[in-house]
Structures are given as structure tokens and as C-alpha cells.
Structure 1
Amino acid sequence: MFNSLMKSVFGSSNDRYIKSVGKIVNEINALEPQLQTLSDDELRAQTDKFRGLLDNGSTLDDIMPEAFATIREASTRVFGMRHFDVQMIGGIVLHRGEIAEMRTGEGKTLMATLAVYLNAIEGKGVHVVTVNDYLAARDAEWMGQLYNWMGLTIGVVVPNMDETAKRDAYNADITYGTNNEFGFDYLRDNMKHERAQMVQRPFNFAIVDEVDSILIDEARTPLIISGPTEDKSDLYVALDEVAKEIPEDWYEKDEKSKSIQLTEDGLEQTEQLLISKGMLETDNLYDVENTQVVHHLDQALKAVHMFKRDDNYIVKDGKVVIIDEFTGRMMEGRRWSNGLHQAVEAKEGVKIEPENQTMASVTFQNFFRMYPKLSGMTGTAATEASEFWDIYSVNVVEIPTNLPVARIDEEDEFYKNTMDKFAAIAVAIKEKHEIGQPVLVGTVSIEKSELLSQFLDKEGVKHEVLNARQHEREAHIVAQAGRLGAVTIATNMAGRGTDIQLGGNLDFRIEDETGAMEDGPEKDAVIARVKEEVAIEKQKVLEAGGLFVLGTERHESRRIDNQLRGRSGRQGDPGLSRFYLCLEDDLLRIFGPDTLFSKMMNSNLEDGEAIGSKWLSKAIETAQKKVEARNYDTRKQVVQYDDVMNDQRKVIYEQRGEIMESESVDDVVLDMRHDTINSIVGTACPPGSYPEQWDIEGLKERVEEVFGLSFPFEEWIEEDQVEPEIFEERLRTETDKMMEEKIAKNDPSIWRMVEKDVLLRQLDFHWKEHLATLDALRQVIWMRGIAQKQPINEYKQEAFGLFETMLDTLRGEVTKILFKSELQISQPQTQALPDLPDFLTGHIDPLTGLDNSNDGDGSEQRPELFGSLAGSPRAASGPGGSNTDNPYANLNVSRNAPCPCGSGNKYKHCHGSANNPNAKLNA
């Protein structure tokens, strides 16, 4: 009560913020008459003027008013569009590193040009992040006209670009791209072997379009680069058959967490079923030997009994394609993790692709927190303001609309079942269609879209269905959803980023009508006719009441409902929105209290009857808040676990960067050799122990294994006052001397290259293995909660210990390879390092394996991470011609030298073996 009173008197904190920014807008407006008098060349020269001011000590805040006034005048001349004052407010918010919540149709794309131009003047790079490649290319082409006119350079990054072109795009003043591609390029850069191969430069400033979708909805699923493991197709198929034989009374489903658990009786029955099929190593299902079978059986049960075709996925061209639960779009190239995707492929009888092993990963939270300044824009962010602040330390500012909102938001209507609800929806749509009012219908799945389409066909209503099956036509269909009498059915936020204009989108209409016509009087006449038709049609739509947005279900997130409503009533246009609900909706069925809805509605509602109630709508909103809180906890948990890995990732990537930039890494190698000696001696001769307790035999074996040397440790012990430190000192002296002699026999410059390459490759190999270990740890660490321990704290301790172990192993392997290597190069020459292979990319939930929403590379190549030390493994050939099995055939490696792959074995017993040319690294 007191807060409401204070807000009515002094306004909200958001109102006070907007009022304070208004003073800067007035300052910008005061500069407009002066800039209008400048010629085009004089206006373009403003960019160089601003750069000069920055060079002389001015800050971006100092030049902001004039820079904003300049880009507004340039926009007026290039596009014929002048920024509204509210867009100026939004531009200031973006420049300050905050999130601008601006209603749909208020011009977010044009608003962003203000902050983009100002920050691009510095030349440090501005990243504009979009949700898909179409929007990235569209916005770059459209806004690029303005930036180029002002003397700035533009770049666009998309999957499968040439490395040189991608590097040029990142070096531009302004770079457009998707969140996935920016993230994957960051990971790929940190897998390369030379700084010159990297495409990105240090991060500076990012503006994230549809920031709620990218930083909230997709933030629970990390970006992952992976490589293939062994093929287990037969196991997937066999367990799929078992899962299909398991009846419902053997298991319990939890739709909230999308999990299935066998009951106690079900476990016994399933165990006997697996034994009868000969699929268990022992007669106990939960013996260690059967771990893999249990894991994949669990995934098969989910695939068969939990995941539905045309709802969670579709089968297209013989492949299982995931449907994004937030947007209803197909996610080409994206795969569920932990064998779940393979289980679904086995269920559908399509080709089963092998599982992949993680080689690099990062969450969106930790990726975007690397930008010194981060901002974003969307139509809905206020409901998640606390999460934006907690995770990203970014404030949300609600930007007022240019014109008052005239849309009418009606109360929800409740029905007993889906059929009654859809029948009522079809009647309502028909009524609106007959009076010419356009209707945009939002559904939650392909299945619901097609069911509603059938109802409309019965009513004789012409309509468009936009879902994952029509992804290619998405923007075009949505753009015309505001035409007279149009009925468009869309899954969730399909077409997000495309403006719905009453009477139809003029630009799309002109493009359709003119096609490939050349400029001239004929084309001008067509354009004039289309403009007139659109103006007349818009007036008729306005008279009919504007766009009617109809929601067939409430979503888990209030933001998505608000996004759907926001498609209507743009720029002060009239509009209408209404949601239709029933007891069978997922939100009510899974999260709504049974006594609240079902008892009251079943006893009081007749078939086909509807009720509307503010109380019921409030109860729905409460359920949504609970789901949002649960989803936030999930995302927060992902951040907590990734923060542990992020600290380690920073160490590894910083180390890689230093190695790549160094001309010589001999000091690093020397430290590693000495640390290895200390570790070997410390293990055999623990501090504080007596000589008779030392493991001298183990010490000798380990020194022989790593250095190939023998030392008279027994004689040293017989000497007076022998301590482990003396062993360490003597070993360091001897090994340093032998390494100096070895380097002297070879070309020092080539040896330095070998040291650097071995160090990088071993670092990559052990980091990859460490990631796999952490993945496995994260899968089981929750069990520590049974012992009343905090899983995250246990994970931190375990991960730290594993990281220390990994570094210790890395030091030992690098030392062993370099100490036992023998270089025999017939024609010494500097060869360029190979390009990084196209790895598989994924965006996978580490907790459940669900919500995979990555951008795949679309490449069929497989990674060859540990190839030749001196050349491309794909270019290898031997005396008998091409030898694709042995990537080292062209190096003339001595048969008794260590294999260049890093296994530690002699070449003749590893890749050089005639009988086994493709031996594994750990052979």
C-alpha cells in the first residue's frame, strides 16, 4: 500500500530514470537544426571528427549527444526515417550497457543504430547478436546502408564461412551474427595453433537482439564442440525393442522433469527381460559391468514413452530434427546429448549417428559476461529483470511507447477439454474473418497447429499454417499476417523479428509484385499501385478493429504470452488479444492444482460452455511464476556448475594464448620437466619419511618410463645425509644437460617449433579428456545429496582435484614426448599449420540432455585433433602412394622414435606398424 502511494506521488524508479534521460534527448534535439544545414559530405565527415575527439581524450559520453543527432539526420537522408524521441531514450539505454524493453513495432532495429554507431567510432568492434542467420543478414544489409554511408565497415558471420572472410567480418567496425556462431567461433579460436589463425579480436561491446530469448531461454543449454566416439547402433536398437515391450505399470512418468523411473516391480521384470535377451554382463542390473546398458535403457524409455513425434521432434529426410520448445522451429543439425538422440533415431528406424565427446564448451552466461559492455533489447524483459541483474549485472529499462497502446486485452476463456476449446476458437476466428479482421493464432506445437487447421477447414476458413514444416517461408507469412481477413496459425513466436503491419507489409508486397523487374517507369507504376492498395487495405483493417491475437494455450513463461499479445497494437494501432484455455492444457494439467480447476469446472460446466474469471487468470499467472522460478533455478544451477569449469577454462585458454604468442616455450618446457621430477620423487619419497620407506624400485621405473634413463639411486642412498631434494637436484642437472645436448644436435629453430606444437596438442588432448571427466562427474554428483552434502560444493572440490591431476599428467606427458623424441627430417622446411577441422557443434543441456538448440556446422568432416606435428594429416602419403590410414607417413619418422601422435610408444609399435597403421592414441 505504501509503495503504491509513493509510486503515485513520485513515480516508479523506471519513470524517474526516463525523466532523467529526457534531458539528454532535449540536448540532442537542440543540435538537429544545425546538422540539417550540413551537406551530405559534411555530415559524413562527422565520423572522422568524432574519432579525432576520441584520440584527443574525449569519451564516448562526451560525444554522445552530437553523435546521436548525426546518425538521426543521416537516417532521415538515407532511409527517410527519423528516430522518435523514445528511440533516442532506448539508444542511450543501450549505450549505457542496459536492456531496453520496447514494445513490438516501436522500431528496435532502427533504435539500435544509435548505440551501434557511437560505439563503432572507436574502432574496437561492436557485435550485434540476433536469434537466427536470416535476421543477421537482413539487419546487416538494411542498416548497413546507413553505416556505410557514414564511413563505417560492416561484417556478417554465418556458419560455414571461409576463415579469411570470417576474420574480415570480425575486423569490421560492426559485426552481425547469431549468438551461436559468436560462441562457437570463440571456442574454435581457442582450439587453433597460431594466433594468426584466430578470427575474433578482443571483445568490446555487444547488443543482443531478442535478449530474453538468447540470455534466458537458451541460457540453460551450453554451446559444445564435440568429436565422434565409437558406434553403438546395435545397442540402441536392441534397447529400443526392450523399451517398447515395457508396459505402463512398470514405470512412473514425471512430465515436469521429463524423466521416467522404473518401479520396484518394474526393475525386477526389466532385469529378467534383459537377462533373457543376453544383454547383461552379470545377473544384477546395477552391477558396474551393466552401467552402459542401464544408462541407454533409461534414454530408450524416454524416447519411446516421453518424446512425441511432431511435438518434440519431426522426421525429415530420414533424420530426426528437434523442435524448439520455445519457438516451435526446426533446429537443423541439433542433437540431444547422452545418447537420447540416438534412442529417438532407433525408435523411428532412421540411420543412427554416433554419440560425440565434448572437446570444448561454454555457457551463454559465461560467454556474454566476457564482454566489457553488454546491452540488449526486446519486447519483454521486465518479468525476468531480477535474473538479468543476478546473472549479467544488467539493468532493465522499460521504454515508453511513441503512441499510447490502444490494444484491448480480454480475459481468458476456460473450457473443459481441447475439442470444446478448439471448436470455440474456430467459431471465433470465422466471425472475425467474415468482418475482415486479421487473426494471428499462437499455438504451442505442430500437432496443435494442424489440429486447429482441421477445425478451420470444416468451418471453410482460408488460412496459413506456419510451423516447423514451413520454416523457410516464416518471415514472408508473418509479414502479411495483418492483411484484410488473413488468418495465420503460428507456433509460439515464429517469425519473431518480422514486423506485422496492418494492410500488409509494404516492402514484401513490392518485392512480390516487382520481382526481377528492372528500374524504370513500369516498375515505378507497380510500386505506386501497391502503395495505394496497401493504404486502402490498412484503412479497412483499422475499421475492422486491427489485428486479433488469439492464444490457444498459456505458455510456461509469461514473457512468451506477452510477446504474442505484443504482435497486435503496434504504433498506436487498435487491436485485440484473448487466450483460450482448458483443463487438458499442459500448464494446467502438470502445474495447476487439481482441486482448483478440475473439481469446479467439471461440476459446473456443460460441454462447450466457457467461463471467464479474473480469479482463474490470476491462478494461471501464479502457476506460470512457479514454472519460471523453477526454470530460473535450473539456469542458475547450470551457471554454478559452469562457473567452476569457467575458472579452469580461463586458465587453459590464457595459457594457450601465451604459448601461441611466444616465439619460444623452452622456459615453460623446462618448468614442466622440473615439476615432473619433483612429482616423481615426491611420490616415491614422501616428505617426512625414512629412506627405508622409500619406493626406490618405483622411482627407477618411473624415471626410466619418462626419461629413458637409469640412475644409481641405491648408491646415492648409501651416501651420508641423502634427502629427496638431492635426488631432485641431481635429476634436474642430468636431464637439463641431456636436453641441451639433444637440442644442439638439431636445428634449434625447428626444435622450438616442435616444443610449441607438442605442448599445444597435449594441452588440447588432456583438456578434452578433462571435460569428459567433468561431464561424467556432473551426471552423478547429485547422489552426494543423499549423504546430506551440497552437490555443488562436492563438485567444486572434485573438479579442483581433477584439474590438478590433469595438469600434473600434462607436464609428465609433454616431458616424456620431448625427452624421448628423435627428429629425422630429410628436407627441413617450415610448413603452415593445417586449418582447424569442422567439428560437430551442439547446444546441449548438461543436466538432462534436452533443449538442444545449437547451430550445426552442416559438415560431415570428423575432427583430427592430434595429427602430424609438422603438417596436415590429410596430406600424408608414403612410398606406395596415398596412405590415409597413417597420417605420419610423410614425416620419415624413425621406427624406434616415439610416435608423433603422443602415445609414448615407439613409432613401429604405433602408427608405424604395418599390421596396425591406424593404432589408437593409447595403444
Structure 2
Amino acid sequence: MVSFGGLARKLLGSSNDRVVKRFQSRIQAIAALEDEMAALSDDQLRGKTEAFRAELAGGKKLDDLLVPAFAVVREAAKRVLGMRHFDVQLIGGMVLNQGSIAEMKTGEGKTLVATLAVYLNALEGKGVHVVTVNDYLASRDSEWMGRVYRFLGLSVGVIVHGISDEQRRAAYHCDVTYATNNELGFDYLRDNMKYERGQMVQRGHHYAIVDEVDSILIDEARTPLIISGPLDDRSDLYKTIDGFIPLLDKADYDLDEKQRTVTFTEDGTEKLERMLEAAGHLHGPSLYDIENVTIVHHVNNALKAHALFQRDKDYIVRGDEIVLIDEFTGRMMPGRRYSEGLHQALEAKEGVTVQPENQTFASITFQNYFRMYKKLSGMTGTAQTEAAEFGDIYGLDVIEIPTNLPIQRLDEDDEVYRTFEEKFRAIVKEIQDAASRGQPILVGTTSIEKSELLADLMRREGLKNFQVLNARYHEQEAYIVSQAGVPGAVTIATNMAGRGTDIQLGGNADMRIERELADMPEGPERKAKEDAIRADIKRLKAIALEAGGLYVLATERHESRRIDNQLRGRSGRQGDPGRSKFYLSLQDDLMRIFGSERMDSMLTKLGLKEDEAIVHPWINKALERAQKKVEARNFDIRKNLLKYDDVMNDQRRVIFDQRLELMDAEELDETIADMREETIEGLVAKHIPEKAYPEQWSTAELKAEVEDVLNLDLPIPDWAAEEGIDDADVRERITAAADESVKQKAERFGPEVMTYVQRSIVLQTLDGLWREHLVNLDHLRSVVGFRGYAQRDPLNEYKSEAFELFQSMLGNLRERTTRQLMRVELVQPEAHEMPEVPEVEGHHLDPDTGFDEMGSGYYPTSALGEPGDRSTLDPNAPETWGRVGRNEACPCGSGKKFKHCHGAFV
């Protein structure tokens, strides 16, 4: 029986079909211009760019130019790349231009599609950012598609890791800029630590196209980008707090070993408060007052260190350091450190040197970074399953673009086995069978460990001709993936490996030519070799087609249907035949979590023998339902994280906007005077209560504080003895004295130097307080969840207390700035360069592996410690090596890179 909704879709088409149909008239209009564009010379075609810009300057909108601009790009691509945009690619370009996500199957040419929307939007001259998942793709695409843009008179830049600020600034000022999501985010954060506009590299956030948009805006958005640097030494505080914990009884805290949590009881909290008060570390009557948020964080860490962590089980003490032990392998992990001050708490507990913490200088989530763009769009092969999240968080619609040719891939039902061993035996047998027929096979795994496990099994079975990829070495991996369509090729890859590179049956001719003929100069001999390679590819493609096309064999289901669909989509490119199949066992994580025990007993009763599999569409549907539940849960987690980050983001915007105003202001006298006035108001209000008699005033304390903050020695107690004086008179006299002091200083310094001094002091003070504020927010976030036990909403509590902390920070800014400006003296008037940005490091954690993409290892390892003194390096003692970069030679002398040797995953 067909539902009413299904009948309506058959008669009227889906909403997606109706959106796609709306583009047809424009496709016909572009086609009508094809002959006219083909008749133009190269110079005439290039001249269209200036003509379009003139029309925009004359008042036309981008939408008015879409048809002729797309026709120009189609013709340019034919001439420069030998590639003509299909009609469905034109639809993709229109979807990108309207600020939506174009879902296009693998092999449909998304890289070429982007050129249409990029060119059109670049005509405005405000910069278009094309965002990729790694440096290799950014470099490849900027060079490959950059040929079209340069042919049409546009400038193209690329941002990759390790280039200088000058190179970055030049790249951002190009019409089109290719970059990775990490580099864009870090440049934004670093720009907001600079002290002059001229030092900044970005020029705004006008329009971005995000390639592999699901990977960047959903998967990688689970962890923020962080810029950090070493914190002031707080070792004394760690040691002091640590001394209190052994004085507590077991009744003073609740320990849950199963959940690995420990919390203070009410009695324990009171006892601790008395100890902290006696030591002078408690501000106010309660430990949980907002002023004590940092102390709460320290005492919680100290309690964890004593109650949850055992020496020689969780860690060992070696020399003067704490070395962690991997709970799964029992191996030592030198160089690995706990974050958020927990490692320092362990160091204080064991009496070794307490190393400085790393402080967050700036951080941002990808959600909040990409929402800054005035227009945002994206493209991927798999976005439909996450359409709700794209709409809710980014305001992006997902439009499914039809394929150029019908899909011929056969998606078979899953095979389910009872145990891992049975499943892997079946997989190895299937690989042997397919390889013997000459069918190329891509074996998808969910982790690096599973890839290695399968590779070991295959070696034991005598299979040696296969490649293992794990989404780490992007350039080498792109070549291997590009050749995975060669007949009989077996490629084992994590699901994300090689994204952005098509698997073409028979292999990729261009990449083979580039690799095999890299050192051969242009000429007849090279041309003959190129023709031979292309002929060989054609022959191999015919064999692969005869064998059934690419076979995607997946070793288990992922939590997300989207990742499974990405893997399936590798096969059946451009109408090629292919097949896909998932092999599962009841011991797989997803099956185990969703009630496989009942299924196991049921299959046993039904008489399922060893090495037999059950295959049924119902199992596929049950698994999809389980995956939908996991996806919904993960979406809720990300949405909740974003709600907390939005609180910080609002404050971040205020601070960053304030910094820009301070940098742009020609003079700051008025701003500084307002700060000084408010500081004086606060000092007077603190010591002279409203409507109090002069004999009730704390004049001696006010005099001392005015001297401390304003560097002024004023006879305030004498003023109080005058008849008829009130608090307003005192405030005015202090203000007048402060203004006179500043005026004299300005005359000595001169206006230009005075403005420089004011700007540098207020910016440095603001930055220092903002860093302290970020630490406080981190600490508040870690403890605010406990408010739920008191039936109070943790998010509302976080919002209100974060606002109080922010107001307190602004008050501190006024006072600290005033204090420094009242005391500053010019030592060398001629040398007034802006202060240097502090030494910082960037971190972005891979949410699945814990690998820090930007640093030198697992976060926060790379952020701690300085490179060791190599003169004292002992190859046999890793503790003497200091910090070693992932790509440096391993100090042990093996000849391998550090990441393949002592820095390998453990």
C-alpha cells in the first residue's frame, strides 16, 4: 500500500526535485550562450571579468550576472583544463551561489563545480575562501582550478601550514584563497592577538565554500581550535592545596571507582573552607563563591590526584617527572601529560618539580568561526543525513544534485556473523576471491587499529599485494587511492582516508604520469610515454569493468550512516558498475551496544553454525534505526556544547571588536579618561559610603589606595576635616589631580608617543585579562554541572556567572590600565615598536583519535615543554630528548621519523 506522502512525491516530485527543476531555465540560457563564448578570443573572454565588475559597480546584482558568468567559466574550463561543466554541475554551482550545500555523489566533479560560484562571487573583489580538509588538497586545487581563475584575470592564493605572515597576508588579499579550516581559524585567532592593523593577515569573512562540508562543520566541529602558551608558575599554589588533602577523612568525599569520579561531601567542603580560609586562599565565606572558581578547580584536581590515581598503576615516578601508564597496554607514555592542571596536581602529590601549565590564549569552535561569513555554502557526497544539524546550527539547506549518469552500483545486504573471528575469516576469503577475478577492492575500516589487524590476518593467509592507508599522509595517500581502481588492487583504508581523490577504474592517468615521468623533460619521448600510460590505463579499465567495477567491502558499520554512505559512494563513479557490502559481527561496537545478546541467543537457537552468516533486509533496517539514535544523541551533544560556547563567543566578539576600535582610534585620550574616571568613582564609593558623615569616611585607606592606583600623594584626610565637603567634592579633586598628572606626562611624551603608550598598555592589559578570563571560564565550565544536583539549570548558571566574571574583568581592565598609565615613564622615546605577540602554539584535536593535528603529538603534549638541549641528548634515554617534532628524525638513531618510531601511536 502506497502512503499519501509517497503518492504525492510520485505525482509532484519531492521538494528537492522541485528546487532542482527551478534551475532548468537558467541552464538553457547558459547553453544558449555557449557558441557565442566559443567564438571569443582568449583576450576577449578574459575581458569579460572587467566588464562584469563594471556592471556590478553600476548597480547590478550578482544574480543578474549568473548566466553570462557561468557561461564564461564553462568556456574557460574547456580551454584551460579540457573539461566542460555538465548541466548537473551548473546546478551545483547555482546551489553553492545561493548559500546552500550541494550534495553530489563521489566522482561528479565537485572541485570543478566550485569554480562557477567562486568566479561569480570573486567579482565583488571582497575575497572568496575555498576551504579544504588538508594542505595537500588546498595546494592541489589552488594550482589545478587556479589555472581557470588566472586565465580569467583573477588572483589566486593558498594558505598552508608553515608560511610567513607576509605570505598569508598576500594570499588573503587575492580574489580567491584556498586554505584548510584549521589555518583559517588559527589566522583569525592570531589576528586578534596582534597590536596593529598592519600586522593582521585576514581581511574579513565575505564568502566561503567548504569542501567536504560534513567533515569540517560536523566531525571536526566537535573540538575547538586552541592557541596556547606557557602560564605563570603556580607551583606553590599546587603544593599548598595538595597539603590539605591528606588532612581529610574518607568520609569527607564520595568516591565512585566505577565511574572514576570523586566529589566532596558537605562536611568535607566545610572542613576544606576552614583550612583555605586559615591559609588566606578563600575569598568570601563560601568555597563556591564566584571569586573562588580557580581554587575550586585546584582542590578538585588535588582530590582526584589522591583518590583516583594510584602510583605504579596509573603512573610511575621516574627521576623528577610523572610518567603516565596506558591503562590498556600497560606501556609507559613519556611526554604525555594530563591537561587542565591535573598533571600538575599529580606532580605536587609526589613531590616532583611542578611544571608550568599551558594557558589558553584564544579559542574558537568551527561552528562559531564559519557563522561569521556573510555567505556560506558547502559541498560533499553525504550531507542529507545531517540536514537537520546543518539547518539548525548554520542555516544551510541541503540540496541533492542528480548524477550525470545513472548509478549502477549494487548495494548488497549486510552479512552478520556471531564473532569477530568468523567475520574476519569471511572477509579475507572474500578478498582472495575478488582479487583472483581481477576485481579492484577497497576495504573500509573504522580505525587505524582495525586496518592493521586485517593486514596482519591477510599476511598470515599469504596475501601480500595490498596497501594500507590511515588518513595521515595525505599526498602519498592521494596517489595510492587514485590507483585503487587498478584490476586486482586491494586497498585497506580507514573510512576518511583519501577523501577528495577519485578512484578511477584502471587508475588515474594524470597522477601516474606525474609520478612516473617527474624527471623527464617535455618533448617527443615524454609525449610517447604519456600516450603509452594512457593506453595502459584504458586497457586496465576494460579489465576492471569486466570484473564488475570497484568492490567496496566494509568491515563494520560506523556510528553515522553518513560515513557508511561515503564509503559506498567510492564505487559506481560516473555510471561505472560496482558493488558494496558490509560485513558485521555481533561483537562490533554498534551491534554490542544495541542489544546483540538477545540476537546472539536467538541465532544460536535457530541453529546458526560457525562461519555461517545471516543476511536479511530487516537487519539493515534495524541497524539504520540504531544509527539514527546515535546520530541524534551526537547532535544533541554538539548542540549543547555550542550553547556553552555561544556564551564565550558573545564575549569574544565584544573583546575582539574592542581591540579593533583601539587599534583604529587616532587618539585614545577620551577612552582613557573615561576609564580613569570610573576607577576613581569606584575607589571613592568603596571608602566613602553614600550619605555618610565625614567622620565615618575611611580617609586613610582611600589615601593609600589613591597612592597605589593613581600614583598621587593627596591630603585626603585633611579634605575630610573641611566643613561642608561631600563625596562628590573628593571625587572631583582626585579627578582634577589625576588629569593634571596625565596632562604633564603628555606634554613630556608628545602626542604621538603618548597615543602609542596608551594603545600598547591598554591592548596588553586587555589581552592579559582576557587570558585569565578564559581560564576562569574553563574552570567554571568544569564545575557548573554540579548545580544540576540542586535543581538549577547548569547552562543558565554558566551564563549568569560568566556575565559576572566578564563585568569583573572589565572593571579590572579600567583599574589596571589606569594604574599602569599613571606610573609609566618613557625610558627611550625614540624606540616605540609595538610589543611582540607572545610565543604561542595551535592545537586542534582529532575527535576520534586524540591526535593533535597542529602540534607534535597528542594534546596537550605538544604544548608543554621546550625543545631539549641536543648536546645532552642520550639516544637511549627519551627523557633527555625534550620536545621532538612529529616529522623530525627520531633521536634514538633508528633513521625513522619520530612519528614512525618513538612517537608512534601506543
State the TM-score, normalized to the length of structure 1.
Answer: 0.81
Deviation by residue 1:737-778 (Cα, 9 ceiling, x = unmatched): 222122223333222211111111101111111111111111
Preserved contact between residue 302 and residue 345 of structure 2 (Cα < 8 Å): no
Asked if 1:510 is matched to 2:513, the reply is yes
Structure 1 counterpart SS, 2:22: helix
Query: Structure 1 pair 687/342, CA: closer, same or farther in 2 (3 Å)?
Result: closer
State the shift of 1:512 in Å. 2.8
Query: Structure 1 pair 838/400, CA: closer, same or farther in 2 (3 Å)?
Result: farther
In structure 2, what is the equivalent of residue 815 of structure 1?
Answer: 818
Preserved contact between residue 413 and residue 579 of structure 1 (Cα < 8 Å): yes
Preserved contact between residue 418 and residue 582 of structure 1 (Cα < 8 Å): yes
State the shift of 1:684 in Å. 2.4
Q: Pick one of 575, 578, 585 that aligns with 1:575.
A: 578
Aligned pairs (5 A) from 1:543-562: 543-562=546-565
Deviation by residue 1:531-587 (Cα, 9 ceiling, x = unmatched): 111111101111111101011111111111110010001111111111111122122
Aligned length: 801
Deviation by residue 1:172-216 (Cα, 9 ceiling, x = unmatched): 000001001000000100100000000110211000000000000
**Paired AA for residue 499 in structure 1:** D
Asked if 1:294 is matched to 2:293, the reply is no
In structure 1, what is the equivalent of residue 896 of structure 2?
Answer: none
State the shift of 1:473 in Å. 2.3
Preserved contact between residue 125 and residue 174 of structure 1 (Cα < 8 Å): yes
Query: Structure 1 pair 598/343, CA: closer, same or farther in 2 (3 Å)?
Result: farther
Preserved contact between residue 337 and residue 844 of structure 1 (Cα < 8 Å): no
Preserved contact between residue 838 and residue 863 of structure 1 (Cα < 8 Å): no
Q: Distance in 1 between matches of 2:543 and 2:355?
A: 54
In structure 2, what is the equivalent of residue 193 of structure 1?
Answer: 195
Asked if 1:168 is matched to 2:146, the reply is no
Query: Structure 1 pair 340/705, CA: closer, same or farther in 2 (3 Å)?
Result: closer
Query: Structure 1 pair 809/787, CA: closer, same or farther in 2 (3 Å)?
Result: same
Q: Pick one of 692, 697, 701 that aligns with 1:698.
A: 701
Deviation by residue 1:234-268 (Cα, 9 ceiling, x = unmatched): 999xx9xxxxxxxxxx9766xxxxx644799xxx9
Aligned pairs (5 A) from 1:310-321: none
Preserved contact between residue 299 and residue 339 of structure 1 (Cα < 8 Å): no
In structure 1, what is the equivalent of residue 10 of structure 2?
Answer: 8
Structure 2 counterpart SS, 1:219: helix
**Paired AA for residue 789 in structure 1:** R
State the shift of 1:476 in Å. 1.4
In structure 2, what is the equivalent of residue 829 of structure 1?
Answer: 830
Query: For the aligned residues, what is the CA RMSD?
Result: 3.4
Asked if 1:585 is matched to 2:597, the reply is no
In structure 2, what is the equivalent of residue 140 of structure 1?
Answer: 142
Q: Distance in 2 between matches of 1:424 and 1:448?
A: 15
Preserved contact between residue 326 and residue 332 of structure 2 (Cα < 8 Å): no
State the shift of 1:378 in Å. 0.4
Preserved contact between residue 337 and residue 849 of structure 1 (Cα < 8 Å): no
Deviation by residue 1:578-598 (Cα, 9 ceiling, x = unmatched): 111112212222x31255433
Query: Structure 1 pair 755/444, CA: closer, same or farther in 2 (3 Å)?
Result: same
State the shift of 1:628 in Å. 1.2
Deviation by residue 1:693-736 (Cα, 9 ceiling, x = unmatched): 54434323321210132444444444455443332222212211
Q: Pick one of 98, 101, 105 that aligns with 1:96.
A: 98
Preserved contact between residue 155 and residue 176 of structure 1 (Cα < 8 Å): yes
Aligned pairs (5 A) from 1:635-674: 635-674=638-677
Structure 1 counterpart SS, 2:804: helix
In structure 1, what is the equivalent of residue 111 of structure 2?
Answer: 109
Q: Pick one of 391, 398, 404 that aligns with 1:402.
A: 404
Asked if 1:738 is matched to 2:738, the reply is no
Q: Distance in 2 between matches of 1:423 and 1:863?
A: 44
State the shift of 1:39 in Å. 1.1
Deviation by residue 1:829-884 (Cα, 9 ceiling, x = unmatched): 25433553551111259xx99856542399999999xxxxxxxxxxxxxxxxxxxx
Q: Pick one of 361, 364, 386 that aligns with 2:363.
A: 361
Q: Distance in 2 between matches of 1:508 and 1:449?
A: 25
Q: Distance in 2 between matches of 1:306 and 1:611?
A: 38
**Paired AA for residue 816 in structure 1:** R
Q: Distance in 1 between matches of 2:527 and 2:508?
A: 18
**Paired AA for residue 5 in structure 1:** L
Q: Pick one of 448, 451, 454 that aligns with 1:452.
A: 454
Aligned pairs (5 A) from 1:123-272: 123-229=125-231, 260-261=260-261
State the shift of 1:20 in Å. 0.5
**Paired AA for residue 830 in structure 2:** Q
Structure 2 counterpart SS, 1:855: coil
Preserved contact between residue 665 and residue 756 of structure 1 (Cα < 8 Å): yes
**Paired AA for residue 614 in structure 1:** P
Does 657-666 or 424-433 show the bigger shift?
657-666
Structure 2 counterpart SS, 1:740: helix
**Paired AA for residue 579 in structure 2:** L
Query: Structure 1 pair 710/512, CA: closer, same or farther in 2 (3 Å)?
Result: closer
Query: Structure 1 pair 544/233, CA: closer, same or farther in 2 (3 Å)?
Result: farther
Asked if 1:762 is matched to 2:765, the reply is yes
Q: Distance in 1 between matches of 2:449 and 2:805?
A: 46
**Paired AA for residue 293 in structure 1:** A
**Paired AA for residue 661 in structure 2:** E
State the shift of 1:625 in Å. 1.4
State the shift of 1:445 in Å. 1.7
In structure 2, what is the equivalent of residue 918 of structure 1?
Answer: none
Q: Structure 1: which 5+ residue stretches go unaligned?
A: 240-249, 254-258, 269-280, 321-334, 346-350, 865-923
Q: Distance in 1 between matches of 2:848 and 2:488?
A: 43
Preserved contact between residue 299 and residue 340 of structure 1 (Cα < 8 Å): no
Aligned pairs (5 A) from 1:14-93: 14-93=16-95
Q: Pick one of 627, 630, 635 that aligns with 1:627.
A: 630
In structure 1, what is the equivalent of residue 377 of structure 2?
Answer: 375
Q: Distance in 2 between matches of 1:4 and 1:52?
A: 49
Preserved contact between residue 130 and residue 177 of structure 1 (Cα < 8 Å): yes
In structure 2, what is the equivalent of residue 855 of structure 1?
Answer: 854
Preserved contact between residue 218 and residue 853 of structure 1 (Cα < 8 Å): no
Q: Distance in 2 between matches of 1:626 and 1:649?
A: 34
In structure 1, what is the equivalent of residue 485 of structure 2?
Answer: 482
State the shift of 1:469 in Å. 6.9
Q: Distance in 1 between matches of 2:388 and 2:862?
A: 43
Query: Structure 1 pair 154/837, CA: closer, same or farther in 2 (3 Å)?
Result: farther
Preserved contact between residue 108 and residue 404 of structure 2 (Cα < 8 Å): yes
What percent of counterpart residues are identical?
53
Preserved contact between residue 467 and residue 490 of structure 2 (Cα < 8 Å): yes
Deviation by residue 1:427-473 (Cα, 9 ceiling, x = unmatched): 01111001011110111122211111122223333211112676662
Deviation by residue 1:666-701 (Cα, 9 ceiling, x = unmatched): 111111000101111222234465656544343233
Q: Distance in 2 between matches of 1:642 and 1:458?
A: 49
**Paired AA for residue 302 in structure 2:** V
Q: Distance in 1 between matches of 2:56 and 2:409?
A: 45
In structure 1, what is the equivalent of residue 501 of structure 2?
Answer: 498
Preserved contact between residue 583 and residue 598 of structure 1 (Cα < 8 Å): yes
Q: Distance in 2 between matches of 1:610 and 1:305?
A: 40
Structure 2 counterpart SS, 1:122: coil
Deviation by residue 1:482-520 (Cα, 9 ceiling, x = unmatched): 100000000121001111000111112212331210111
In structure 2, what is the equivalent of residue 888 of structure 1?
Answer: none
Deviation by residue 1:108-163 (Cα, 9 ceiling, x = unmatched): 00000000011111111000000100000000010111111111101011122111
Structure 1 counterpart SS, 2:361: strand
Structure 1 counterpart SS, 2:23: helix
Query: Structure 1 pair 465/344, CA: closer, same or farther in 2 (3 Å)?
Result: farther
In structure 2, what is the equivalent of residue 799 of structure 1?
Answer: 802
In structure 2, what is the equivalent of residue 839 of structure 1?
Answer: 840
In structure 2, what is the equivalent of residue 906 of structure 1?
Answer: none
Preserved contact between residue 221 and residue 851 of structure 1 (Cα < 8 Å): no
Preserved contact between residue 89 and residue 399 of structure 1 (Cα < 8 Å): yes
Q: Distance in 2 between matches of 1:609 and 1:233?
A: 61
